[in-house]
Each structure stands twice: as structure tokens, then as C-alpha cells.
């Protein structure tokens, strides 16, 4: 119920307003005759008060101030017999929510005014809920779940990184939470009010990387119809998160190095210098030192970006986090779907604990959410849990094959997985590209 107090000394007029507002079944309307009575009744927490400007004991302005002193957020509407602009203006300046003049239309205007005030109230509530949500979103103690020694060490490093401006390099297999950690560093640092700009180096076509990062001026190349700022510039004042940094080619690496050294850039096709000030956080599933040894990463860039290294171990190496995470994702799932909480049967727990999770936390999240969908009632059984990848099964079971047939099968599988990128597949399998090309020539793979 939305509680409304009408403070009005004219009983006839007061009853008209009370009757009219009472037509809305959501409203609980109380009629009070004096300012004093109103102040005494405030303990019953009304949601809105309308006051007559000229009450016998207190004038509208005095009563308004006293109400606000007790309940600063309570909306107040003043209803006055006199149509004086100066009074209206000074009351509105004081913070009165609306000023209405007593005439034939007052009750309709009041009706509309209350609706408008309620809309504003719910908007304010929504904003404060969103703010609270945003805060907990990046309050990493609530969002990065884990009690393993490894995760506790990660928390310590996030704190250290957040308290300084040092660059940060995060390594870990896919789905271990690298982006989550990058955000935690940003949202706990002094730069939290500025932008967090994430760029996935593996997702941008090679020929577009430079314009994405540096931006361009109008006419810099065909199709550059207007100036566009790049990601470096967008991150100014904040944090730039370069994900999959191991995929950056050598040409771009030297350009990035220059930007980091000079702390400025020119947009493509432009000669204005743009000053830069961002914290760089990079992430990769590769071993950066190893990439330097292989000649894939410039050594001088490596020293610039390595900064504070944070290593996220695979989930299979921190098994004590598995059930904690499973419960966390299930709880979030129930909340999102407005369902009661789920329980995991003993067998379901065992199944989760035995699985190696090649897709790490991301895979665990997907698996428990699917299990929740599949389960009957709120109890998840082992049979409800299916894993996306088949690694839990013995890959050698089934029909017998020669080593060459196995090789062919593995290469074919990798080519599909990496969209026929021979170079990448050769690298992943640690074989020469020629092995793949030869098999193609022989027609063993398409």
C-alpha cells in the first residue's frame, strides 16, 4: 500500500480529496487536521504528504521544513488557496515536490502529480539498486569465488595491483577468469570511475588491428568517412585490457611498444599528438617468456607489459574451488530465474570433482546451469550433469586405428576447431606445417 497523509483543516475539502484519492485501491489515505497531528503521525511512515498552505497551527513552509527534518526523502505536495507565484517558487526552491492551487481541477492535478512523483521514486530506487549491483559486481570478494591457496594469492595480487599503477599480465588457460581479474584490478583502483576498455586481439582481423587501436582521421583511408578514436584513446584515464596478447603480430608489437614508451600517439592519417595515460592489463593463455624465446614476442615489449604477473591455475589444480563455484553458479541461476535453491546429490558432487574441466570455470558454469535445467525439482543428480567436451571418456576406446589414422583424425579435428588455420593448428599440435600440407596433398585431409 502507498500511504498518503492529507493535512487539511477544512473538513469538507479534506474529505473530497480523501475520497478521490481513495478510488485508487493502492492508496491508503489518512486525513489529518493540523500540522502538529501530521508531525506526530510521521512515525507511521507515510509515502507522501499533501499539506494545506494555511493551517491554523503552522504555515505550509514551516510544516514542510519540520517534515523534511524528520524524513528528508518524503515527497511533499503543498496545496494553497492563493495563486501566488512567489510563494510557489520559493516553496519549490526549498524542495517541495509540487505546488497546487485550490480550484475545481485540484483533485485531478493531485492525482496526476502523485503518479508522477511515484514514477520518479521508482526510478530513483532503480538507480540506487543498479548502483549497488554495480558495486557488488566488481566487489571481487563476491564475484571471484574460491578458497584455494591459489585464489587467495590472486586476491592478494589484485590488491597490490589495484593500489598501484603498475601494468599487469594475467596468464591462465581459457575460462580461468582472466577477464574477471582484469576488471577487479580496474574497479578497485583509483581509475575505477574511468573507462575499462577490453580488446580481444584474437577477435580483430589483422588488417584492422592498427585502426582499432590507434583510431583514424577522416579520409585516412578509403571508407574512413569520419574521425574515429581508437581503443588506446578510449581507455585514457582508465584501463586498457588487451586479451590474447599472444596473438599480436610483430608489426603491431613494435607500434604498441612505441605508444607505451612515448605515452602518446597519432591517429592514422593525422599528425596531432594525443597524450595517453592508461594502465595496461594484458592476458594470455600462452607462456609469455616462452613466446619471447620462440621469437613470437619482442623481448623489450615483454619487459614493458609483464609488470605484475598474475597466474590463474587451471580448475583441475584447485579442486577445492569446484563445489564452491558450483553452488555459487546454482544460486545465481535460481535468483535469475526466481526459483528455489538447488541441491547437489552426493553422486553429482563426486562427478564434478572427478572431471578435469578443460574449459575451466566457464565450462563448470555451463555444466551446472544445464544440470539445473535438466534436474527434476531442486535436486541435481549425477545423471543431470553432462560435460561439453568428451575428454572424460577414454579417447582410445572404440575402434582400433593405426597411428597415421589417429594423426589424421586429430589434425582434422583441430582444423575444424581452428577454422582451417593451418599455421595455428601446426603450432597447437607442435608439428611442422608441412606435415599438414603433405596430408592435404595426398588427399588424406581436405
Ligand X SMILES: Nc1ncnc2c1ncn2[C@@H]1O[C@H](COP(=O)(O)OP(=O)(O)OP(=O)(O)O)[C@@H](O)[C@H]1O
362 interacts with ligand X by CB under 6 A: yes
Task: Report the distance separating Cα 80 and Cα 369, nearest Å.
Answer: 59
C-alpha R_g of the chain: 32
369 interacts with ligand X by CB under 6 A: no
In this complex, which beta carbon is closest to ligand X, that of residue 144 or of residue 161?
144
Shortest spacing between CB 293 and ligand X, in angstroms = 22
Shortest spacing between CB 431 and ligand X, in angstroms = 24
361 interacts with ligand X by CB under 6 A: yes
Q: How many CB atoms lie within 10 A of CB 413?
A: 11
Task: Report the distance separating Cα 59 and Cα 434, nearest Å.
Answer: 93
Q: Which stretch binds ligand X (CB under 6 A): 80-88, 226-234, 357-365, 386-394?
A: 357-365
Shortest spacing between CB 324 and ligand X, in angstroms = 9
Angle at 373 between CA 368 and CA 378, to 5 degrees: 85
Q: What is the DSSP string of 341-384?
A: PPEE-HHHHHHHHH---TTHHHHHHHHHHHHHHHSSTTEE-GGG
146 interacts with ligand X by CB under 6 A: yes
- The 321-340 contact track toward ligand X, x by CB under 6 A, reads ----x---------------
If we measure between CA atoms, which residue out of 116, 118, 163, 80 comes closest to residue 3?
Answer: 118
Task: Report the distance separating Cα 21 and Cα 9, nearest Å.
Answer: 17
180 interacts with ligand X by CB under 6 A: yes
In this complex, which beta carbon is closest to ligand X, that of residue 90 or of residue 153?
153
In this complex, which beta carbon is closest to ligand X, that of residue 75 or of residue 146?
146
16: left (phi over 0), alpha (psi -120 to 50) or beta: alpha
If we measure between CA atoms, which residue out of 439, 443, 404 comes closest to residue 425?
Answer: 439
176 interacts with ligand X by CB under 6 A: yes
**Strand, helix or coil for residue 162:** helix
318 interacts with ligand X by CB under 6 A: no
In this complex, which beta carbon is closest to ligand X, that of residue 110 or of residue 281?
281
Binding to ligand X (CB under 6 A) within 275-304 occurs at 285
In this complex, which beta carbon is closest to ligand X, that of residue 362 or of residue 408?
362
209 interacts with ligand X by CB under 6 A: no
Q: Which whole-number Å values give the CA distances from 270 to 27, 136, 227, 251, 277, in the listed order?
A: 63, 42, 10, 19, 19
In this complex, which beta carbon is closest to ligand X, that of residue 55 or of residue 180?
180
**Strand, helix or coil for residue 148:** coil
In this complex, which beta carbon is closest to ligand X, that of residue 145 or of residue 367?
145
In the structure grid, which three cell numbers stand for residue 86, read together?
A: 512567489
174 interacts with ligand X by CB under 6 A: yes
144 interacts with ligand X by CB under 6 A: yes
Task: Report the distance separating Cα 283 and Cα 264, nearest Å.
Answer: 23
| Of 33, 102, 107, 178, the one binding ligand X by CB under 6 A | 178
Shortest spacing between CB 172 and ligand X, in angstroms = 5
Shortest spacing between CB 285 and ligand X, in angstroms = 6
Residue reference for cell 560435460: 387
In this complex, which beta carbon is closest to ligand X, that of residue 96 or of residue 310?
310
Interface contacts to ligand X, rule CB under 6 A: 144-146, 172, 174-180, 243, 285, 325, 361-362, 365
Amino acid at each position: 500500500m502507498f500511504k498518503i497523509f492529507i493535512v487539511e483543516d477544512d473538513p469538507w475539502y479534506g474529505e473530497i480529496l480523501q475520497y478521490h484519492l481513495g478510488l485508487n485501491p493502492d492508496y491508503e489515505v489518512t486525513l489529518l487536521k493540523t500540522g502538529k497531528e501530521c508531525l506526530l503521525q510521521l512515525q507511521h511512515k507515510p509515502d507522501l504528504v499533501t499539506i494545506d498552505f494555511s493551517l491554523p497551527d503552522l504555515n505550509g513552509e514551516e510544516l514542510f521544513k519540520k517534515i523534511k527534518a524528520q524524513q528528508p526523502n518524503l515527497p511533499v505536495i503543498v496545496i494553497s488557496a492563493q495563486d501566488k507565484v512567489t510563494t510557489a517558487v520559493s516553496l519549490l526552491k526549498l524542495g517541495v515536490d509540487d505546488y497546487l492551487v485550490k480550484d475545481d481541477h485540484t483533485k485531478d492535478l493531485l492525482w496526476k502529480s502523485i503518479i508522477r512523483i511515484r514514477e520518479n521514486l521508482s526510478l530513483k530506487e532503480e538507480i540506487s539498486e543498479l548502483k549497488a549491483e554495480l558495486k557488488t559486481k566488481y566487489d571481487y570478494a563476491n564475484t571471484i569465488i574460491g578458497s584455494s591457496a591459489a585464489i587467495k594469492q590472486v586476491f592478494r595480487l589484485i590488491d597490490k595491483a589495484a593500489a598501484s599503477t603498475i601494468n599487469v599480465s594475467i596468464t591462465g588457460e581459457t575460462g580461468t577468469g582472466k577477464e574477471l581479474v582484469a576488471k577487479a584490478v580496474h574497479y578497485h583502483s583509483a581509475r575505477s570511475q574511468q573507462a575499462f576498455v577490453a580488446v580481444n586481439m584474437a577477435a580483430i582481423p589483422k588488417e584492422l588491428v592498427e585502426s582499432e587501436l590507434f583510431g583514424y582521421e577522416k579520409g585516412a583511408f578509403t571508407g574512413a568517412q569520419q574521425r574515429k578514436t581508437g581503443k588506446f584513446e578510449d581507455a585514457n584515464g582508465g584501463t586498457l585490457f588487451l586479451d590474447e596478447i599472444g596473438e599480436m603480430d610483430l608489426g603491431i608489437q613494435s607500434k604498441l611498444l612505441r605508444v607505451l614508451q612515448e605515452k602518446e600517439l597519432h591517429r592514422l592519417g593525422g599528425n596531432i599528438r594525443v597524450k595517453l595515460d592508461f594502465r595496461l592489463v594484458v592476458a594470455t593463455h600462452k607462456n609469455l617468456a616462452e613466446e619471447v624465446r620462440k621469437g613470437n614476442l619482442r623481448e623489450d615489449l615483454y619487459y614493458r607489459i609483464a609488470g605484475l604477473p598474475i597466474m590463474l591455475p587451471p580448475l583441475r589444480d584447485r579442486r577445492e574451488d569446484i563445489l564452491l563455484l558450483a553452488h555459487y553458479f546454482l544460486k545465481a541461476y535460481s535468483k535469475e530465474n526466481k526459483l528455489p535453491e538447488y541441491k547437489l546429490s552426493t553422486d553429482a558432487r563426486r562427478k564434478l570433482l572427478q572431471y578435469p574441466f578443460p574449459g575451466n570455470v566457464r565450462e563448470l558454469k555451463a555444466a551446472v546451469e544445464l544440470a539445473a535445467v535438466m534436474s527434476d525439482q531442486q535436486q541435481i543428480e549425477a545423471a543431470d550433469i553432462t560435460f561439453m567436451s568428451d575428454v572424460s571418456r577414454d579417447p582410445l576406446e572404440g575402434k582400433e586405428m593405426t597411428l597415421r589414422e589417429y594423426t589424421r583424425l586429430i589434425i582434422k579435428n583441430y582444423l575444424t576447431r581452428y577454422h582451417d588455420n593451418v599455421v595455428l593448428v601446426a603450432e597447437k599440435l607442435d608439428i611442422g606445417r608441412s606435415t599438414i600440407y603433405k596430408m592435404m596433398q595426398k588427399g588424406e585431409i581436405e
